[in-house]
Structure 1
């Protein structure tokens, strides 16, 4: 919880018999690379900047759960991961270009994190991922979404047709970001 120092760690190491190795701080320009800085970037939706610090894309893994199957009706079926109990940093709500790992295979896709404000019936945030060029049943399977770029924030649309138009644009924008 950011309350210790190198000195308190050294004292704990001596008292508890473990080895402590202290490394020099690493920075990216004027920013010190730290878990706190990375979590702050993720929380702000700056996943590309977080990836630069991590040396890899930030990802969330989980079991695919049943949703309302609305994505399928809209022409963009989604694999849903509930985030309420996630012990991970959750990116700012919105749409992201993602790479999705399923059964060791990588696919491009788009993901939404949030509450589905257009429908207003989701009480807990969830990660909904539409996997491009994928068919199959993923319920109960492990999925990993690697966040590449934030495309836009979460929006409440006036109706289904406006949402469908935006989803088409989101897919186009995500495909461009993933090239």
Structure 2
């Protein structure tokens, strides 16, 4: 997949099959559209193209809203789209100026002149251009004028999977990992760097890798203890993760700590990808480190059971 950040650098394609959207999370609803795009491109001998935007439009249009939590960073989104065999990804910088483009200007300048679109595939509720004025009906009625075919993914096809980015965020914010993963079609994950911690875990037999908080606006699941897979470069390990403030030791700030089962390497400064499987329990305050250690033993046993090791 060729990733293009500059509209002016977009190549001259003979038969571009295109879709457009923010694609936050690239969930199973998005995946229906992506599969149709690649299918149409394959049938026609053309090229599949995805147009997306960064930063997320809401971060630009509503900068005072600090509550927006994203399912994927732009780097994650690129890799998620790459997995579907897309040929070209055009990332358009989303600015206030760009947001004022009318739908007709977007169609003429981007879809027609830049990409030379031959087929445009959109979800049934997709809108674009200033004030979301562009619609399937508008495109369909002017398809001959614009010189490309318009295909809409039917409402039933999208509604049948019952998924939206909002539903996934809600599931993660309540610790409902299986529902989020079902809607995503893969485990929810984030990547972060291992930092120096206070090394308390190793004193009770459960050393942890302390992770830096992910980039701003990347959603962190609800506080609690989780069964996770831990990816270190090409290796994958079982783990249990705590998200919270560590109330047993009177902690006050949010920390991300993962205990990797049967692991003893020094990995400070390295990146780990955490894939969430299930929430074991909510974070709680224990009556001292001995009580915490006893609970961690139970958590480890349950983690092994969930991941199929016992």
The TM-score with structure 1 as length reference comes to: 0.86
In structure 1, C-alpha distance between the alignment counterparts of 2:185 and 2:178, rounded to whole Å: 10
**1:88 offset after TM fit, Å?**
1.2
Over residues 95-122 of structure 1, what are the superposed CA-to-partner deviations in whole Å (9 max), with x where a residue is unaligned?
000000012100001000000000113x
Q: Of residues 22, 34, 46 in structure 1, which corresponds to 2:122?
A: 22
Q: Give the equivalent residue in structure 2 for 1:6.
A: none
User: Is 1:117 aligned to 2:207, yes or no?
Assistant: no
User: Is 1:172 aligned to 2:262, yes or no?
Assistant: no
Write 1 or 2 for the structure with the bigger share of helix: 2
Gap change, CA 1:155 and 1:135, over 3 Å in 2: same
Structure 2: gaps spanning 5 or more residues = 1-57, 62-98, 112-119, 124-152
Q: Of residues 248, 273, 289 in structure 2, which corresponds to 1:160?
A: 289
User: Is 1:66 aligned to 2:196, yes or no?
Assistant: yes
Over residues 5-64 of structure 1, what are the superposed CA-to-partner deviations in whole Å (9 max), with x where a residue is unaligned?
xxxx9x7453233346422452466xx311111111111111111000000000111000
User: Is 1:143 aligned to 2:233, yes or no?
Assistant: no
- Looking at both structures, which has the greater relative contact order when contacts are Cα pairs under 8 Å and sequence separation is at least 6? 1
**1:85 offset after TM fit, Å?**
4.9
Aligned-pair Cα RMSD in Å? 2.2
The number of equivalent residue pairs is 170
Larger radius of gyration: 2
Structure 1: gaps spanning 5 or more residues = 4-8
3-state SS in 1 of match to 2:167: helix
Q: Of residues 227, 242, 256 in structure 2, which corresponds to 1:127?
A: 256
Q: Give the equivalent residue in structure 1 for 2:211.
A: 81
